[in-house]
Structure 1
Amino acid sequence: MTTAVFLGFIVFSLYLAIRSKQGHGAQSVHDFFVASRQFGAYLVFFLAAGEIYSIGTMVGFPGGIYAKGPTYGVWFLGYILLAYPLGYFLGPKIWQAGARYNAITLPDLFKGHYGSRALELIVAGSSILFLLPWGQLQFTGLVAALKGLGWEFDPVYLVLISAALAFTYIAISGVRASAYIAILKDILMVVAIVATGVAVGWKAGVGDVFHAASLQVSNQMNDTQLRFSMSTMLFQALGFYVMPFAVQNFFTAKSANTIRRTQVAMPLYMLMYPFLVLASYYAISQNLQLASPNEAFFAAAVRLLPDWLLGLVTAGAALSGLLVLAGICLAIGPIVTRNLLPGMPEQRQKQGAKVVIVVYLVLSIAMTLATPNLMLTLINTTYYGVTQFFPGVIVILFSLKVRPMAIALGILSGQALAIALYAQQADFGGINLGLVSLAVNLLVTVVANYTPRLARVQPA
């Protein structure tokens, strides 16, 4: 029954992808990647929510609580809530900048504003590099979800099937397929999470679960943990809407006001997190011996839900990962064909992007199978690099006069330092390493912008 329900929803998602193409004929590059800037508030809302509340919500958040204790999940909630006000004010400006420069990708914005080929290449290359862990994140979550729900398949087959489905969604109608499938995915994900949380409360008792879990994990934060949580919230909130796929999602809206309307409603999704906490606490209280902390939520679901509802949970988890995977691919494809290979004719960019997407999926699969990680580690790794774009994006949005050489040096300094500090496991008393690197990024940018010798050296 579980498998039948799961397959039924997957088939329905393919139907939605096909339905999304009706009435649009042969898609141009702009329609394929940013829907010709035609999406209204509802489609933008579900598309953006589909990328935010992904497999990491069902796997990473409960896994972090299971592995590190409940206090470790504080940042997960905090940085998303902190990001929404930023999105309300910055999102419309990103849309306006995209319309001004006819942009499809984040590097298009840098190219349009700074007029620097070197800076465009830096942003394009590092976007691809730091999105590799984000793709691995989705595959890791999908494997954990399907194995946690009792599907004892070889991980190789699971990731290959997932990659094939993600590519199929993209090939059918690009971002339009993602937007339509996002509606189904959000419904399934919310129902799955709420149903599992309610089952914990009904069958095990909320008070009993919290009491039993509190005997095994601490609810107290020491000073180091508090600094880590606060600094990580700030750092990742700044990087939240400069993710290449998040910027591209804004470009699909038909107006700046459409963005504002979606950001107002986004926090409603946070109402499902108490149910995730309940599932995580249940896994802790029952002393469940898991192969990976990433399986915490699904271990509770398997124990407490009937087979037909497990099929729904499986479908919600799978579509959550597949949708974000498709979004990443839709961002990386045009970055290569438009920014790394700028001479490619527009009529060939869509086909070229599909080839790039296949290569990206293969690399992500290889990383998933070779180096499986706790999802929180993968999330941090991506943010270490991507958030370094934030100063450059702010300059674009507010039309400030900053030299492209200064922005380029700042980005490279911040990214290199973040990687070095992470590799050395440096400790700044709990302060997020990426935030330290971002501060250095800003310092280098300011110094380079106002140093006369550097000011005369402009990238081509």
Structure 2
Amino acid sequence: MMIKVILLVIFFAVMVAVGIYSRKHAMSVDGFVLGGRSVGPWLTAFAYGTSYFSAVVFVGYAGQFGWKYGLASTWIGIGNAVIGSLMAWVVLGRRTKVMTQYLNSKTMPDFFGSRYGSKPLKIAASAIVFVFLVPYTASIYNGLSRLFEMAFHIPYAWCVIGMAVFTGIYVILGGYMATAINDFIQGIIMLAGIIVVIAAVLNGQGGFLEAVGRMAEIPSDVEITLGQPGAFTSFFGPDPGNLLGVVILTSLGTWGLPQMIGKFYAIKDEKSINTGTVISTVFAIVVSGGCYFLGGFARLFDAPAIYDEAGAVVYDSIIPHMLSALPDILIGIVVVLVLSASMSTLASLVLTSSSTLTLDFLKDNLLKEMSEKRQVRTMQVLVIFFIAVSVFIALDPPTFIAQLMGISWGALAGAFLAPFLYGLYWKGTTRAGVWASFIVGVGITVVNMFMPFIESSINAGAAAMVAGLIVVPVVSLITPKLSREKTDAIFSCYEEKVTITKKRSLEQN
């Protein structure tokens, strides 16, 4: 117990120290929200990765999908690395940086308002962010608290409150820069921790080959495989269709999440984008691939501890049960690992929520005159507010984590992904197309919550994203176009001439 406590004390002390160190970067709005748009590749890549993966992935998704799909759940991690990280950086990174800097946009709703010349779009987007980021924030505490209860026997409520307080302290003190530096430290912990944990768990099962052999003997309970053994070690697992839905939601979804896209606003230069692409992809392969690979062995840990009183599997209990037999030092590492993942994501979410509400809703609408200092102070107060709301929800959460995350990701990515992507590349995107995407993305998710027509909230989220990608161009082709002059002026930012070194390009005059 002493080892675990010491690790936690050191961890929290470092987080707070970074917040104090970063105070000088958080005096202006640009500094508090985007770190002055001068964040280097390592900090940006780790900020992207640690915001991506939290306790929701490590505890909720890895346990649930490892149990359902076996070793094929590793495909989710591969999809996260290739689509959610590599392709996101390649397709969105440079264009997002250039256009948002030209428009002087600090948030995603701000981008919609400036790109499409519509204040109502900006307000609607900020409302969607406000409503749907909160349940995602609440889901983070749930997974973390289960590990704390296993390791320290601390009541759930105290785990939630403790994590919220320390996250709030360093976000309020240092803003984006404190979050980015802490994300880097937390990311190092996550990388090392997941490798150690996988090795320890497999060693406890007699090694990799022994564990795979035992998994191959387990008959599947999915109807399409007729209960034949070997399904949980097959290439695409026992249920490829639903597995694909999870890959789409958790991978393509990042393209429309404001807390993820915001990392591209803050990046420093061309070199940072190229280097950050590689770092972010490797990070995702190790962390996400490692989490789902570990979860793929969930069936080997079938025990009464993972079932509720009605005999149903409690997915959020699977990973904590897998880790409960590890030595104390490894349990301490796991707790710090998941704490790192959770606090980094929580910090990113509350910073995104507070900046969006302040800059896109309160400023110029309810509060006409807001000085630079007052905007920063308002965001700091709203950080406290959002953390408090998420704690309130987390103290009485829904049945399991994946439900919360699926709803949040589905609504946000379903509404924002298509109009943001098309807005960066296609001059023909119209306001009506953006409104259609907002309505379809949120509509599919919300209607499915109350009148389920798609069995899984995760598949509903994936459907919302695909629907948006279809709806935006269709509606845009039949609705009034934006001013050609204004659109050409916006896209001219990509044609601006710059001078670079021979190290970056071998082109001759």
TM-score by length of 1: 0.89
Matches within 5 A, 1:255-266: 255-266=269-280
Deviation at 1:408, TM superposition (A): 1.1
Work out whether 1:324 is the aligned partner of 2:345.
yes
CA distance in 2, matches of 1:318, 1:390: 29
Deviation at 1:324, TM superposition (A): 0.8
CA contact (8 A) 2:18 2:178 kept: yes
Match of 2:440 in 1: 413
Match of 1:172 in 2: 173
CA contact (8 A) 2:25 2:36 kept: no
Structure-2 change in CA distance of 1:202 and 1:443 (3 Å): closer
Match of 1:124 in 2: 126
Structure-2 change in CA distance of 1:415 and 1:106 (3 Å): same
Give the residue type in structure 2 aligned to 1:287: D
CA distance in 1, matches of 2:100, 2:428: 18
CA distance in 1, matches of 2:252, 2:66: 27
1:299 to 301, 314, 321: 321
CA distance in 2, matches of 1:342, 1:430: 34
Deviation at 1:26, TM superposition (A): 6.2
Match of 1:48 in 2: 48
TM-score by length of 2: 0.81
CA contact (8 A) 2:76 2:250 kept: no
Match of 2:189 in 1: 188
Encode CA deviations 1:354-390: one digit per residue, 9 max, x unaligned.
2222222222222222223433222321221112212
Encode CA deviations 1:15-39: one digit per residue, 9 max, x unaligned.
2332334xx3661111011011111
- Matched residue SS, 2:239: helix
Matches within 5 A, 1:331-346: 331-343=352-364, 344=367, 345=370, 346=372
Match of 2:494 in 1: none
Match of 2:150 in 1: 148
CA distance in 2, matches of 1:185, 1:369: 25
Structure 2: segments with no counterpart, 5+ residues? 221-230, 308-313, 484-509
CA distance in 1, matches of 2:332, 2:278: 32
- Matched residue SS, 1:107: helix
Work out whether 1:357 is the aligned partner of 2:359.
no
CA distance in 1, matches of 2:298, 2:153: 20
Structure-2 change in CA distance of 1:223 and 1:265 (3 Å): closer
Which stretches of structure 1, 4 residues or more, deviate above 4 A after TM superposition?
220-224, 272-275, 428-431, 450-456
Work out whether 1:386 is the aligned partner of 2:412.
yes
Moved more, 340-349 or 38-47: 340-349
Matches within 5 A, 1:308-323: 308-323=329-344
CA distance in 1, matches of 2:482, 2:293: 56
Match of 1:228 in 2: 242
Between the two proteins, the alignment pairs up a number of residues equal to: 452
Deviation at 1:273, TM superposition (A): 5.4
Structure-2 change in CA distance of 1:214 and 1:175 (3 Å): same
CA contact (8 A) 1:29 1:350 kept: yes
Structure-2 change in CA distance of 1:9 and 1:225 (3 Å): same
CA contact (8 A) 1:140 1:372 kept: no
Match of 2:452 in 1: 425
Structure 1: segments with no counterpart, 5+ residues? none
**Aligned alpha-carbon RMSD (Å):** 2.9
CA distance in 2, matches of 1:362, 1:392: 31
CA distance in 1, matches of 2:302, 2:238: 27
Moved more, 326-335 or 139-148: 139-148
CA distance in 2, matches of 1:453, 1:173: 44
Deviation at 1:91, TM superposition (A): 1.2
Encode CA deviations 1:257-312: one digit per residue, 9 max, x unaligned.
4223211222323135565456436653243323642243333333122x233222
Structure-2 change in CA distance of 1:152 and 1:450 (3 Å): same
Work out whether 1:280 is the aligned partner of 2:295.
yes
CA contact (8 A) 1:37 1:253 kept: yes
Work out whether 1:395 is the aligned partner of 2:396.
no
CA distance in 2, matches of 1:326, 1:431: 24
CA distance in 2, matches of 1:117, 1:45: 32
Deviation at 1:335, TM superposition (A): 0.6
Match of 1:237 in 2: 251
User: Identity, % of aligned pairs?
Assistant: 18
1:96 to 95, 98, 109: 98
Give the residue type in structure 2 aligned to 1:312: I
CA contact (8 A) 2:440 2:468 kept: yes
CA distance in 2, matches of 1:261, 1:147: 39
Structure-2 change in CA distance of 1:453 and 1:115 (3 Å): closer
Match of 1:197 in 2: 198
Deviation at 1:130, TM superposition (A): 1.6
Structure-2 change in CA distance of 1:283 and 1:426 (3 Å): same
Deviation at 1:446, TM superposition (A): 4.3
Structure-2 change in CA distance of 1:4 and 1:222 (3 Å): closer
Match of 1:290 in 2: 306
Deviation at 1:119, TM superposition (A): 0.7
Encode CA deviations 1:52-97: one digit per residue, 9 max, x unaligned.
2322342134312454242455335424422222321211111112
CA contact (8 A) 2:160 2:391 kept: yes
Encode CA deviations 1:154-211: one digit per residue, 9 max, x unaligned.
2222111111111001111111111111222122222222222212233331233333
Deviation at 1:423, TM superposition (A): 3.2
CA contact (8 A) 1:33 1:104 kept: yes
Give the residue type in structure 2 aligned to 1:136: A
CA contact (8 A) 2:138 2:394 kept: yes
Match of 1:139 in 2: 141
CA distance in 1, matches of 2:204, 2:215: 16
Match of 2:116 in 1: 114
Deviation at 1:455, TM superposition (A): 9.6
Deviation at 1:444, TM superposition (A): 4.5
Matches within 5 A, 1:436-455: 436-442=463-469, 444-446=471-473, 448-451=475-478
CA distance in 2, matches of 1:429, 1:105: 30
Deviation at 1:422, TM superposition (A): 4.1
CA distance in 2, matches of 1:248, 1:186: 18
CA distance in 2, matches of 1:29, 1:281: 44
